[in-house]
Chains A and B, each alone.
Chain A
Amino acid sequence: MGLYEEIGGAPAVNAAVDIFYRKVLRDDRIKGFFTGVDMARQAAKQKSFLTMAFGGPNAYTGLDMRKGHAHLVQRGLTDVHFDAVVENLAATLRELKVADNLIAQVAAIAESTRKDVLGR
Chain B
Amino acid sequence: MTRLRFRDHEYETQGRSVLDCLVANGHDIPHACRAGVCQGCLMRAARGAVPARAQSGLRDTLVEQGYFLACQCHPEEPLEASLEGAGAQRFCARVLARRQLAPGILGLEIARPPGFDYRGGQYLRIVRDAGTARNYSLASVPGLDESLHLHVRAVPGGAVSGWLHGEVGPGDEIVISGAQGECYYTPGSPGQDLLLLATGTGLAPLWAIARDALRAGHRGRIHLYHGSRDESGQYLRSELERLQERAAQFRYHPCLAPSREPAQGVAQVALRDTGSLAGWRVFLCGSPRMVEEARIECFLAGAASGEILADAFLPYEAAAPDRHPRQPELVPATGPD
Contacts and interface: CB of A to CB of B under 8 A. Distances in A.
Given A10-B57, A17-B305, A45 B37 contact: no
Contacts of A112: none
Interface string A35-55: 101111111110111011000
Interface string A1-25: 0000000001001100110011001
A10 B57 CA distance: 9
B299 A49 contact: no
Interface in B38-67: 38-39, 57
A117 B33 CA distance: 21
Contact of A10 (B37, B296, B328): B37
Contacts of A114: none
B37 A56 contact: yes
Interface stretch (B75-83, B123-131, B166-174, B329-337): B329-337
A43 B328 CA distance: 8
B332 A41 contact: no
B238 interface: no
A117 B38 CA distance: 20
Contacts, number: 100
A47 B33 CA distance: 12
Contacts of B33: 51, 56-59
Contacts of B37: 10, 13, 47-48, 51, 56-57
B334 A68 contact: yes
B34 interface: yes
Contacts of A59: 32-33, 332
A72 interface: yes
A11 to B, nearest CB: 9
B299 A25 contact: yes
Contact of A57 (B34, B299, B329, B336): B34
A74 interface: no
A120 interface: no
Contact of B329 (A45, A52, A58): A45
A95 B330 CA distance: 29
B97 interface: no
A14 B292 CA distance: 22
Q: B33, B57, B304, B335: which has the most chain A beta carbons within 10 Å?
A: B335
Given A10-B37, A38-B337, A41-B337, 8 more contacts: A25-B299, A39-B296, A45-B335, A47-B328, A49-B334, A59-B33, A68-B333, A117-B335
Interface of A: 10, 13-14, 17-18, 21-22, 25-26, 33-35, 37-45, 47-49, 51-52, 56-61, 64-65, 67-69, 71-72, 113, 117
12 contacts: A10-B57, A13-B37, A18-B299, A33-B335, A39-B292, A41-B337, A43-B305, A48-B329, A49-B334, A52-B334, A56-B33, A58-B33
Interface of B: 32-39, 57, 292, 295-296, 299-300, 304-305, 310, 326-329, 331-337
